[in-house]
Amino acid sequence: MTITQFISEFQSRIPLAQAEDFDNVGLLCGDPSREITGILVCHDALEKVVEEAIELGRNLIVCFHPILFRGIKSLTGKNYVERALLKAIENKIAIFAVHTALDNDYLGVNYRICNALGLKEQKVLDPKKEDLYELSFQVPSEHKQKVLDAVFAAGAGSIGYYDRCSFSLEGEGQFRPRPGADPFLGDLGELEKVSEHRVAVILERYKKGRVISALLEAHPYEEVAYQMTPIVNDNQYLGLGRYGELERPMESREFLEFVKETFHVPVIRHSSLIGRPIQKVGVLGGSGAQYIPLALSKGIDAFITGDVKYHDFFQGENRMVILDIGHYESEQFVVGQLFDLLSEKFPKFAISKSRENTNPVNYFQ
């Protein structure tokens, strides 16, 4: 399998288009036509991780954080980013990053954190806005299923845990072919009336191009009547962060101990404790301080994230406990997640989890 084929297969489960606009996901370096000899999964593709890939004979590194995040004007090895990239390029090792494509996935980073905490009734904290469209089209009744099958195969009609979702109404369509037309039905200059279905399906923004292509390819008409309309509904199955409820309420100090044990962290920075038991818990792996007000508005009792600054802790307003367990620590499950996903999807590949701990933050106890 080539790297290009790998990326195509990978995106059938984690589409890179799910990533945030600011992010730099996908193939960061490497020849996309190269055959894969093995995969090394890591959190950060640092120089020592590239050396590990060389040692193991793996020529594709799948990392969570993109080692190349901002533009560079030269590549001389003057910093840790350039040294890693140089070593990878010189040894024909490709680097592929997933980052917020996995963060935003409904079964991604924050889903795994919630499961570690045993949270029930989970929901996305910040569902994607302006992400959903409704495609409606007319099609002759006898061709309805063929066209529907095509747009479903292109990704339309998926809502949460359901797929092949659509709605249709039967009616009568009419048209008159004019000179220059090559009609599928009817004759030039003659009014034609046809039994048609008007069909509607929902799809995400990034699927628009391929769904329209599938519709036009499968539809029998020379001119296809369709509408693509943005809808105001939030996409409840895509977005950053997550929240849910504990199996049972916990007192604040008991909850802190529970989090400390669950994430194996030596210390937790937190805001003032609240005077009631903790039941509803929100999480956002990585840097989530900007989502503190949103978590508070959801009635969340405790919010777990990383990279919280001094003034951010005041935003709990003594109504929500803010827990900073560390950036890396809050994302610690991603390597295992990626390894499991890749092992299931590519069972014939040699896939390894990196043994390197790339957390740049250390604690003196």
Query: Domain check: are 339 and 319 in the same one?
Result: no
Query: Domain check: are 219 and 268 in the same one?
Result: no
Query: Strand pairing partners for 29?
Result: 95
Please give the tally of structural domains in the chain: 3
pTM: 0.90
**Which of 214, 233, 252 marks a domain boundary?**
233
Our CA dihedral for 55, 60, 66, 68, rounded to 10 degrees, sits at 80
The HSE-up count of residue 195 (CA atoms within 13 Å, CB side) is 5
Query: Domain check: are 216 and 308 in the same one?
Result: no
State yes or no: 222 annotated in a binding site: no
pLDDT of residue 15: 95
CATH number (domain holding residue 94): 3.40.1390.30
Query: Domain check: are 97 and 114 in the same one?
Result: no
Separation CA 9–CA 33 (nearest Å): 14
Query: Domain check: are 95 and 119 in the same one?
Result: no
State yes or no: 270 annotated in a binding site: no
Q: What SS3 string covers 221-262?
A: CCCCCEEEEECCCCEEEEEEEEEEEEEEEECHHHHHHHHHHH
In the DSSP assignment, the letter for residue 289 is: G
Query: Domain check: are 17 and 86 in the same one?
Result: yes
State yes or no: 170 annotated in a binding site: no
Instruction: Return per-residue pLDDT of the chain as tens, 365 residues.
Output: 999 999 999 999 999 999 999 999 999 999 999 999 999 999 999 999 999 999 999 999 999 999 999 888 899 999 999 999 999 999 999 999 999 999 999 999 999 999 999 999 999 999 999 999 999 999 999 999 999 999 999 999 999 889 999 999 999 988 899 888 888 888 888 898 999 999 999 999 999 999 999 999 999 999 999 999 999 999 999 999 999 999 999 999 999 999 999 999 999 999 999 989 999 999 999 999 999 999 999 999 999 999 999 999 999 999 999 999 999 999 999 999 999 999 999 998 899 999 999 999 998 87
Query: Domain check: are 95 and 109 in the same one?
Result: no
Our CA dihedral for 269, 271, 272, 273, rounded to 10 degrees, sits at -70
Query: Domain check: are 68 and 152 in the same one?
Result: no
Separation CA 189–CA 126 (nearest Å): 54
Our CA dihedral for 150, 153, 155, 157, rounded to 10 degrees, sits at 70
Sequence length of the chain is 365
Question: Is 22 a domain residue?
Answer: yes
Question: Is 245 a domain residue?
Answer: yes
Q: Which residues contact 180 (CB under 8 A, 6 or more apart)?
A: none
Question: Is 45 a domain residue?
Answer: yes
DSSP 3-state of 185:
coil
Query: Domain check: are 115 and 153 in the same one?
Result: no
State yes or no: 65 annotated in a binding site: yes
Tokens encoding 118: 């045993």
Residue 199's domain comprises 130-233
Query: Domain check: are 260 and 279 in the same one?
Result: yes
**Which of 187, 203, 233 marks a domain boundary?**
233
